[in-house]
Chains A and B, each alone.
Chain A
Amino acid sequence: MKNVETILSEREKILGRIREALKVSAPPPGSHDETSAHSTTESPASHAREWLPSVGESSAEQFALFTKNAADLKADFQLLASRAELPAALKKIANDEKWSRFASHGGELSNFASASLGLPVLETDKGYDVQEMEKCDAGITECDALIAQTGGVVVTTRSAGGRALSVLPPHHIVIARREQLVADLPAAFALLQQKYAANYPSMISFITGPSRTGDIERILVLGAHGPKKLTIFCF
């Protein structure tokens, strides 16, 4: 490793060049648009909610929006009447896809889901063997939020059993409660901030649909490197 002094000095050199450059000020971006005028104490993006796609007022509207967005993304969203319906719905997928094992993590909802399957399960909580996880047919996780505006879910290392569980197995199953639906992106960020600001999980991921690529002739293919399928159960 380079000694500490050269590292520091490169930092100081770059910061020095930045400070020198900023002595000449650049005009702020001209506002031609009346609606975007904002007071100087607020951050420019603080009204994002008013510009992003609209989400409706009531929770019924927002669930309808989430359902539509998730379908557009080719995610499978199943809104269940109660938690009691989960085992059967989950078993159906496991049978259809002939699961032989799956991976999950400790948590009230995920434990309930795991227990209902009666298959060998790889728990990630205390560390795990990656090769073993690679052989799993699915990863079952909880989440931090569902976002009506995008049809996506938010997971973190803490809510979803680490970094790999939600992305390595070919089918990602999310188990969520109805109260976890938030209206829009600003609400999701506010929630994360309120929940974790003292000590953020080292990874926060906004997952919007199953993994995809368009790198061959811009034609959509699901399951590029991450899960080919994303199923979201909510009750």
Chain B
Amino acid sequence: MSFVSEFKTRASEKSRDLRHRSVIRTALRSYEVVRDKRKAAFQSWESARQAAAETKWEAINHLDEHLVALTSKLEARGTKVHWASNGVQAREIISQILRDKKARTIIKSKAMTSEEIHLNHALEKEGFTVVESDLGEFIVQLRHEPPYHIVFPSMHLTRGEIKDLFQKELGDAPSDSPEELTMVARRVMRQKYITADVGFTGGNFAIAETGMISITENEGNARLTAALPKTMITLMGIEKVLPRFSDLALFLPMLATAGAGQPMTCYNTMYSGPRQPGECDGPEEWHVILLDNRRTELLADAEQRDSLHCIRCGACLNVCPIFRNVGGHTYGTTYSGPVGAVITPHLRGLQDWKHLSNASSLCGACTEACPVKIDLHHHLLQNRRNASASEPAFFERLAYKIFAFVASRPVLWSFAKKFGRLTQPLQRLVTGGVIDPARQWTKTRDLPPIAPESFKEWWAKRKESQAE
């Protein structure tokens, strides 16, 4: 099956799934309430957004300089910086470090980049044990499925399902209370931090000025991952840079507010090296891997370059009417929702993924929600334009040609209208069925009736009656 037909099948299944709908609604309803409250606490959320957009613009449009500065600062304090053009290279760098360290167990905190390069699968095939420590990631790992949402990986599951999962996989599920289930995961994980050979993290921001990687999390799992194992590996996209340390004063609360309606995420931690002289703990070695994986192609598209400003807060997913109906797994991509629909065609091929740009009502809710003001819904339109320019759809073009031909000839047009009014009752007899000529439309929607009288006809009549 092609990506598009898989998408359509899953989308029509999910949008009819009432259980799925109620789980997602419940999860997101509270999100909207708290987010609006946090946004209102800002003296000026709009000015903050504008400044955030300008800051990321500055970072991305001088990306080379910032990466060079970041790297030299990191290296000066003993961090090993690696560069990977694609997933294969990144995986190879990571495996090589693990082999050199004779590592067996890797404890991971949440990193979407590792999903992007299918890291867990590759490492497990090589015989390493990979443990996801973020609760949501741990749950989806036990279910052998990808995260449902870039920020809330297990939001599609109910507590009952998680209880059954823990019972089956861990033999430990005292009840279905979220509290007790969380404590099960806590117990399982505690010893793993201590015994793991390598800690693996992603990164939310990279500060060029000071050579730091900032990691945002609520659970404390990334803190422990970066504190206890002897070796630490951090994988992140090259677009994560911010120019200045003080920029975080704006970005940290904005990420928390847009992403989860929090004033600040519980732990925001800046790492500037492995354990330094005089420090009592921390990894002896720290490897930072900067991943391109076709981000430079997105960079080369000046029109959509701002999609690299994304701080992966997930706000655009949360407000998207399509995401809320078809769900995260339907996309079949690492990054789902509006931002996924914008960037996936660049990262994985326009023709294979152009259908995502059509999975949008163009309502603009995503653009409005985005804390860094990415013009998401216009980028969806641009993707549509680019896709049809590079590979025009024959029937669509034919249909529009015929339409244009008829519509620009008044005689033909008024004949077509009359013909339509006459034949529409016949169409209604078969509506939605296989012989319905308008089936693609009527399968899921009503076909509005053609007006009994056009404006032109009405106008002509009116003039006549006035003349009398």
Least distance between A3 CB and chain B CB atoms (Å): 12
Contacts of B71 in A (CB 8 A): 11
| Residue ID in chain A nearest B257 by CB atoms | A53
Query: How many A-B pairs with Cβ below 8 Å?
Result: 328
Q: Which of A31-39, A81-89, A94-102 contacts B (4 or more CB under 8 A)?
A: A31-39
C-alpha spacing A22/B63, complex, angstroms: 9
Contact B302 A26 (CB under 8 A): yes
- Of B26-34, B115-123, B400-408, B414-422, which binds chain A? B26-34
Q: Enumerate A15-56 residues with CB–CB distance to B below 8 Å.
A: 15, 17-22, 24-29, 31, 33, 35-36, 38, 43-48, 50-54
List CB contacts (< 8 Å) of A178-235 with chain B: 184-186, 188-190, 192-193, 197, 200-219, 221, 223-227
Q: Is B20 an interface residue (CB 8 A)?
A: no
B279 x A157 contact (CB < 8 A): yes
Interface residues of A in 121-152 (CB under 8 A from B): 124-128, 130-131, 134, 149-152
Q: Which of A25, A204, A217, A223 contacts B158 (CB 8 A)?
A: A217
CA of A17 to CA of B269, assembled, Å = 31
Flag if A21 contacts B280 (CB, 8 Å).
no
Is A60 in the interface zone, CB < 8 Å from B? no
Chain A residue contacts of B221, Cβ below 8 A: 224-226
Known: A54-B43, A215-B153, A216-B154. A202 touches B292 (CB 8 A): no
- In the docked arrangement, what's the CA distance between A43 and B242, Å? 11
Contact between A207 and B68 (Cβ–Cβ < 8 Å)? no
Contact B224 A226 (CB under 8 A): yes
A194 shortest CB reach to chain B, Å: 11
Tell me the chain A residues, 54-88 only, with Cβ under 8 Å from chain B.
Answer: 54, 69, 72
Taking the complex as formed, is B108 at the interface, i.e. its CB lies under 8 A from any CB of chain A?
no
A167 beta carbon closer than 8 Å to chain B? yes
Complexed CA–CA distance, A219 and B281 (Å): 33
Asked if A92 CB lies within 8 Å of chain B CBs, one says no
Q: Which residue of B lies closest to A184 (CB)?
A: B249
B183: chain A residues at CB < 8 Å are 223
Contact indicator A14/B296 (Cβ below 8 Å): yes
Least CB distance, B116 to chain A, in whole angstroms? 16
A50 touches B246 (CB 8 A): no
Contact among A186, A188, A189, A211 for B266, CB-based, below 8 A:
A211
Determine whether the beta carbon of A48 is less than 8 Å from that of B48: yes
Q: Which residue from B158, B249, B282 sits with its C-beta under 8 Å from A185?
A: B249
For window 173-211 of B, CB contacts with A under 8 Å fall at: 178-179, 181-183, 185-186, 189-190, 193-194, 210
Check A17/B228 contact, CB under 8 A, given A44-B58, A167-B223, A208-B266.
no
- By the criterion of a CB under 8 Å from any partner CB, how many residues of chain A are at the interface? 95
Closest residue on chain A to residue B163 by CB atoms? A216
Whole-angstrom CA separation of A158 from B47 in the bound complex: 35
Question: Nearest A residue to B186 by beta-carbon distance?
Answer: A225
Which residues of B lie under 8 Å from residue A161 when comparing CB positions? Answer: 280
Interface 9-residue window, one of B1-9, B82-90, B327-335, B388-396: B82-90
Interface residue B260 (Cβ < 8 Å from any Cβ of A): yes
Q: Are B182 and A14 in contact (CB under 8 A)?
A: no
Flag A147-182 by CB within 8 Å of B: 1 or 0 each.
001111000011001111011100000000000000
Flag if A22 contacts B136 (CB, 8 Å).
Answer: no
Residue of B nearest to A125 (CB): B280
CB A217 to nearest CB in B, in angstroms, measures 6
A5 within 8 A of B: no
Smallest Cβ-Cβ distance to B274: which chain A residue: A202
Known contacts A202-B77, A226-B223; A52/B152 CB under 8 A: no
Can you list, as one digit per residue, whether each of B236-270 has a CB less than 8 Å from chain A (1) or not (0)? 00100001111111111100000010111111111
CA distance A197 to B246 in the complex (A): 12
Check B290 for interface membership: any CB of A closer than 8 A: yes
* A186 touching B268, Cβ below 8 Å: no
**Complexed CA–CA distance, A202 and B373 (Å):** 32
Whether a CB of chain A sits under 8 angstroms from the CB of B347 is: no
- Which B residues lie within 8 Å of A38 (CB)? 51, 54
B218 contacts A213, C-beta separation under 8 Å: yes
What is the distance, in angstroms, from B70's C-beta to the closest C-beta of chain A?
12
Closest to B244 in A: A43
Across-interface contacts of A13 in B (CB, < 8 A): 83, 85
A223 CB to closest chain B CB, in angstroms?
7
The answer to whether the Cβ of B397 comes within 8 Å of any Cβ in the partner chain is no
Please name all residues of chain A whose beta carbon is closer than 8 Å to the beta carbon of B154 when the two chains form the complex.
215-216
Contacts of B30 in A (CB 8 A): 218
In the bound complex, CA of A46 to CA of B266 (Å): 24
Q: In whole Å, how far is A25's beta carbon from the nearest beta carbon of chain B? A: 7
| In the bound complex, CA of A157 to CA of B283 (Å) | 13
In the bound complex, CA of A50 to CA of B159 (Å): 42
Expressed in whole angstroms, the minimum distance between the Cβ of A20 and any Cβ of chain B is 7
Report the Cα distance A14→B292, complex, angstroms: 7
Contact of B270 among A31, A204, A216 (CB under 8 A): A204
Q: Does B434 contact A (CB under 8 A)?
A: no
Closest to B54 in A: A44
Q: Which residues of A have CB within 8 Å of B189?
A: 225
CA distance A28 to B61 in the complex (A): 9
Chain B residue, CB-CB nearest to A188: B249
Identify the 3 closest CB pairs spanning chains A and B, nearest first.
A226-B220, A224-B219, A44-B54
Give 15 A-B contacts (CB < 8 Å), ordered by A residue.
Answer: A10-B83, A14-B238, A15-B67, A21-B300, A26-B61, A29-B306, A36-B50, A51-B44, A52-B42, A52-B48, A151-B263, A157-B279, A185-B249, A190-B246, A200-B210
Residues of B within 8 A of A (CB): 23, 26-27, 30-31, 41-48, 50-55, 57-58, 60-64, 67-68, 71, 77, 82-85, 89, 93, 96, 100, 133-136, 139, 152-155, 157-159, 162, 178-179, 181-183, 185-186, 189-190, 193-194, 210, 212, 218-221, 223-224, 226-228, 238, 243-253, 260, 262-276, 279-282, 290, 292, 296-297, 299-300, 302-303, 305-306, 373
